[in-house]
Chain A
Amino acid sequence: MSHPPFSEPNHPKWLRWREDCHNEALLLAERVAEGKKPLIKKIYKRKAVKDLYYCASTGPFQGKCAICGLPLQGDPNADLIHYRPPWPLVHEGKPVWVETPQGPQPHPGYYWLAYHWQNLLPACGFCVKRCETPVFPTMNPPVASQDGNLEGEQAVFLNPHFDLVSDHISEDVSGLLIARTDRGKAWISFFNLNLRDRLPETRLLTRLQQKATGLKQGSQKI
């Protein structure tokens, strides 16, 4: 059972993708430097990489949605999502404004992280849908340029690449989740992890399966 932060695979396909992503990120930076709008290509969700790492049952996310824990197999809408959205940020249907040297401007989105492997998470169709609106709450004003300090903005949402979810959320015997921190609370609430159909049931069944097969219940999974 691997714990975050997860390591990268050494597979040639992965390395090729990483290189392609690196090049795309450079092109994107150039485009923005020219004053053009960022354009995100779909290369970040290359199928080979999903199969090899993000969605693989042998991968760090064990073939499950990194947010809600539903199995991804058989979900036609499952996909990769961005932890920090690369599209202009929105809060309650309105753009998020940030202070820049040129004055207040709408946040352009974390476009420079569009192809970053640790900014990508596998998600089930429902969580993909939830992430379509580029929402990313932070405690401090969000970073709006490539050279900003991401840790300083204090993201509210958990990033399973780095955060141990069980530090923030615990699973009750009823199948419901109970927040242990404010970040966990925001995470449960934004993704509706207690009220969505199938989720508590899936957790109960997973628990049952783990017990019945004689395995110790995994502590970090939700």
Chain B
Amino acid sequence: MKNPFIFISYAADDRVTARIINQRLKDTGYETWFDEDKLKPGQDLRQAIEKGLARANIFLFLTSNASLKSSWVQSEIKTALDHASRLVFTVPVLLESITVKDWPFQAATTPPVRFYESDGWDQLLDNLQFFKVRQTQPRSLPQSSLYLSQVEVVNIRCFERFKWSLKSRDGLYDQALILGENSLGKTTLLCCIALGLCNQSGATALLKDAPGAFIRRGKKSGSIKVILQDPKSGLTCEILTELSLRNDGLAEMVRQQVTPEENFPHTDIFICGYGLLRARTAEAGYDSYTRHHGVKTLFCHDATLQDPALILLRQTPDHRQVMEEKLLNILELGEGTRIHYPNSRIAFENETGSLPFQALSDGLRATAQWVLDLMAWLIYANRFESAELGAGLVLLDMPEQNLHPKRQRRLFTLLREQFPHLQFIAATHAPMIASGMAGHDDGIMLKLEKDSTGRVQGKNLPTIAPAHRADQILTSPGFGLNTSRSLAYESVVQRFQILGEKERSATEQKEFKSLQSEIKEQLTLFETPLAQAVYGAVIEILERGTDVVDEDARQEVKSQVLDLLRERQP
């Protein structure tokens, strides 16, 4: 960890306290910018401040009635912050008990430090801990690349006995989609994988946060068996997580067994999971990776992701640059867009202007947040140094959340490009997400459905054929719709059937004929207007009452088609 460089801003009335804080910070090992230390006689104050801010990571704002009133502190510091080209975080330090309604900044990065309280100094040091820049040197590197090979679930929620294998002909599938109607256990399966890959205490903590029981109703115990495999070395390991009800029938106890018992590669397991409410972030800072923190949003609706700006601040410039590139490649905000950090916040800048992170559309912001959170965990787990180290598993619940179909279509291709060594498993209802995996040989789709006895079963299906359109995907076995046409069309067809089956009155016959021509018109056999027009011309002649086409009719069709082609020639 590297200590951040701290810029101390204060009002003249608070000079004595400021001096003490400056000295104590320096004694603790922090490097500071304090005007009395840095300003030389006759030096331009504005220039000096800008210079100091250009180096600073933390803007320590000593807040008092005096400093809030001081027009100098407010206007000059604000101007300086506006010009700061780097990521500078604001830590407000309250020197006296005051309620601050309007910060002179867009937002304070951390909750205010109440310095006037007896533990004020500890509060300040705690806050500063968040901003320590991580060292580049990894502490322990993963020794194997472990991916999910199989999961077996017994008596967990809707699953009575369920087994899913991700073994492909040549190894393991690296991208998998879980499909199925609502309430068939897509999210539960993601949670089971996450629980099965956490350690015993982590899994216990997650179960406490999760709404509802995990053990199947009427059963006293359940289990999750997860098998991991390193496709290169062939190393296989297994975690069996057993859940049982306590005697009082309330809480669920977790007991784990690992195979091999000796030298189980605990630290080589990497898993992150993102549940539906992943758009919320908090200021929580982490120093190291823990599996159950990485999957928390799958279980707990109050869970938050790491603060995007904080994630970026805490990294070394090299890491930050790679993270920015990956993020921009996934967000596709247009050529020439770059990330900058006005007022300690992330913003995307291109020639048309600057867009704050929080102002991104919901879909893009949620995506950016989980992608940044994932990258932060990869760094904390020492897997970001090179793509080779990036082995691990990412679980996504509805990755399409609020994304336009155009982006859904590209999402999995982009994720493959940016995180080639991660295995992605996503539960989805979106045909365009499935379309993004088309043609990818190492992808698989799991279709969950109830069998005739009402048990949820799964079936592995190959990925979508590359040429298939959204409507074809929706009516393929993965999604299983009869039709992607509207309910309005359905009622037209139903009425047509009813009329067709009965003896029709004159009015009904009129209605029948009208529906007939409406259906004929709406059933477009061909996608282009020209092809449809050619079809219309052909069918018109062929429908003239004869069952046999003679030479005259052939000639007429030919000339009509040629006329159409000539008419529509560009």
Q: Do A and B bind each other?
A: yes
Residues of A within 8 A of B (CB): 76-77, 87-88, 90, 93, 125-126, 129, 132-134, 172-176, 178-180, 185, 188, 192, 194-198, 200-201, 204-205, 208, 211-214, 216-217
CB pair A133–B480 under 8 Å, yes or no, is no
CB-nearest residue of chain B relative to A133? B452
CB pair A204–B549 under 8 Å, yes or no, is no
Residues of B within 8 A of A (CB): 451-452, 454, 462, 471-472, 475, 477, 480, 482-485, 490, 493, 496-497, 500-501, 516-517, 519-520, 523, 525, 535, 538-539, 542-543, 547-549, 557
CB pair B497–A179 under 8 Å, yes or no, is yes
Query: Which residue from B501, B517, B520 sits with its C-beta under 8 Å from A178?
Result: B501
CB-nearest residue of chain A relative to B461? A77
Least CB distance, A44 to chain B, in whole angstroms: 19
CB-nearest residue of chain B relative to A215? B548
CB pair B483–A175 under 8 Å, yes or no, is no
Q: Would you list the 5 A-B pairs with minimal beta carbon distance, nearest first? A: A178-B500, A211-B542, A174-B519, A192-B482, A197-B483
CB-nearest residue of chain B relative to A87? B452
A125–B557 CA distance with the chains assembled, in angstroms? 36
CB pair B475–A194 under 8 Å, yes or no, is no
A134-B452, A173-B520, A197-B471 provided; 13 other pairs, C-beta below 8 A?
A76-B462, A93-B454, A133-B452, A172-B500, A175-B523, A176-B500, A178-B500, A179-B497, A179-B501, A196-B483, A212-B542, A212-B557, A216-B547
CB pair B485–A197 under 8 Å, yes or no, is yes
A70–B482 CA distance with the chains assembled, in angstroms? 14
What would be 23 A-B contacts, judged by CB atoms less than 8 Å apart? A88-B452, A125-B477, A126-B475, A173-B520, A174-B496, A174-B520, A175-B519, A175-B520, A178-B497, A179-B497, A192-B482, A195-B482, A195-B485, A196-B475, A197-B482, A197-B484, A201-B525, A204-B523, A204-B525, A208-B539, A211-B549, A212-B542, A216-B548
Given A76-B462, A173-B520, A208-B538, A194 and B452 contact (CB-CB distance below 8 Å): no
**B contact residues around A172 at 8 Å (CB):** 496, 500, 516
Least CB distance, A167 to chain B, in whole angstroms: 15
A87–B451 CA distance with the chains assembled, in angstroms? 12
Query: Which residue from A90, A185, A192, A216 sits with its C-beta under 8 Å from B452?
Result: A90
CB pair B543–A173 under 8 Å, yes or no, is yes
Given A196-B475, A197-B485, A173 and B516 contact (CB-CB distance below 8 Å): yes
- Main SS at interface, chain A: loop
A77–B490 CA distance with the chains assembled, in angstroms? 26
**B contact residues around A185 at 8 Å (CB):** 501
Interface centre among A175, A180, A197 (most CB of B within 10 A): A197
CB pair A205–B525 under 8 Å, yes or no, is yes
CB-nearest residue of chain A relative to B476? A125
CB pair B523–A77 under 8 Å, yes or no, is no
Given A134-B452, A185-B501, A214 and B548 contact (CB-CB distance below 8 Å): yes
**A contact residues around B493 at 8 Å (CB):** 176, 194-195
Interface centre among A87, A134, A172, A198 (most CB of B within 10 A): A172
Interface centre among B462, B477, B538 (most CB of A within 10 A): B477
CB-nearest residue of chain B relative to A198? B475
CB pair B519–A176 under 8 Å, yes or no, is yes
Interface centre among B516, B538, B547 (most CB of A within 10 A): B547
Given A174-B519, A174-B520, A211 and B547 contact (CB-CB distance below 8 Å): yes
Least CB distance, A108 to chain B, in whole angstroms: 13
CB-nearest residue of chain B relative to A93? B454
Query: Which residue from B451, B454, B523, B542 sits with its C-beta under 8 Å from A201?
Result: B523
A107–B432 CA distance with the chains assembled, in angstroms? 42
Interface centre among B452, B484, B535, B557 (most CB of A within 10 A): B452
CB-nearest residue of chain A relative to B557? A212
CB-nearest residue of chain A relative to B484? A197
A83–B557 CA distance with the chains assembled, in angstroms? 43
CB pair B475–A188 under 8 Å, yes or no, is no
CB-nearest residue of chain B relative to A184? B501
Least CB distance, B493 to chain A, in whole angstroms: 5
CB pair A200–B523 under 8 Å, yes or no, is yes
A201–B542 CA distance with the chains assembled, in angstroms? 16
CB-nearest residue of chain B relative to A170? B500
**A contact residues around B548 at 8 Å (CB):** 214, 216
CB pair A208–B501 under 8 Å, yes or no, is no
Query: Which residue from A173, A188, A205, A213 sits with its C-beta under 8 Å from B497?
Result: A188
CB pair A195–B547 under 8 Å, yes or no, is no
Least CB distance, B503 to chain A, in whole angstroms: 12
Least CB distance, A196 to chain B, in whole angstroms: 5
CB-nearest residue of chain A relative to B522? A174
**B contact residues around A176 at 8 Å (CB):** 493, 496-497, 500, 519
CB-nearest residue of chain B relative to A189? B497
CB pair B483–A208 under 8 Å, yes or no, is no
**A contact residues around B543 at 8 Å (CB):** 173
**A contact residues around B519 at 8 Å (CB):** 174-176, 200
**B contact residues around A88 at 8 Å (CB):** 452
**A contact residues around B539 at 8 Å (CB):** 204, 208
